[in-house]
Amino acid sequence: MPKLSAEKRKELRKLAARPDREIDLTDIPEIREILSDAVIGKFYRPRKTTVTIRLDADVVAWMKASGEGYQTRIIAYLRQLMQQSR
């Protein structure tokens, strides 16, 4: 992404300083419900920590057999388990 010019930064600071009541929202439709296929937190990227874990060879082979991204799938399974236990 290109850097902002000093003039653009100044304009953005000026806009950010304006109170919310001055923002015209009349052309934005009201959200009455969240769609079932809506993706919440799509751009959330948690900080990663490098760890060493020993897994059974058959588990790793099974995860790798379903294609690239096996580490991401392992994290998804662990996150699902974590959320179920809350």
**Stated pTM of the model:** 0.48
What whole-number percentage of the chain has pLDDT above 70?
100
Closest CA to 75 of 63, 66, 85, 58: 63
Question: How far is 78 from 63, CA to CA, in rounded Å?
Answer: 13
pLDDT digits (tens, 9 = 90+) for 9-34: 999 999 899 998 888 888 988 888 88
Max Cα distance, the chain (Å): 61
Whether 1 has a pLDDT exceeding 80, the answer reads no
Domain-wise residue ranges, the chain: 36-86
> Residue 23: what pLDDT?
84
Task: Kindly indicate the confidence band of residue 42, based on its pLDDT and cuts at 50, 70 and 90.
Answer: confident
